Amino acid sequence: RIKENKVKKLHLVNLGDLIAGRIHLGLRLDSRFDVITQTMQVSELLSEFITSLTKYVFVEYYDCTDNHSRIEPNKKEAQELETLSRIIPWYLKERLVNNKNFNLNEFGEDLITFESMGYKFIGVHGDKDPIKNIDHLSMMTEQHYDMLLTAHLHHMTLEEKNRTVAIGNGTLMGTDSY
């Protein structure tokens, strides 16, 4: 499709939950791999995927923290930056340092912002910024966004508020309640 549509730049947005994490005992028991192995494997799989894409197109990569990757199961006791999801962009930056068709965008831990084809996008995981609070993100950043990208709920969601379309993506896999 990239070749077919003559795409020159691809915005790749990681909204999180690539790791099952330690947040629920059931998740820990259901997982085939411990959280460290998950983090290493997902980082390498993502780097291989991006490398394959960069053979055809320039990849702008964006990343934000999530709730499944936090180290402390009790969210009230968790420190915001103690999350395994922060290792993924660090790994990608090091692994793809010599790839001329790759750029890792670092805006902040929780927010992703970019423009594409004249539209302004904002991305968040969604655990701290629910899709119903579209206008809060605009007020906080003092910007209007055409589209909000979010994940957290693990099912497809579509909303519109104040000329901003909000899309919540579904989960890739999993039969459990998370």
The span from the CA of 155 to the CA of 106, in Å, is: 27
Q: Which residue has the tokens 């119903």?
A: 132
- pTM equals 0.85
Query: Would you mind telling me the total number of residues written for the chain in this entry?
Result: 178
Q: State pLDDT tens for residues 130-147.
A: 777 788 888 888 999 999
The span from the CA of 105 to the CA of 62, in Å, is: 5
Q: State pLDDT tens for residues 46-103.
A: 999 999 999 999 999 999 888 877 777 777 777 777 888 899 999 999 999 999 999 9
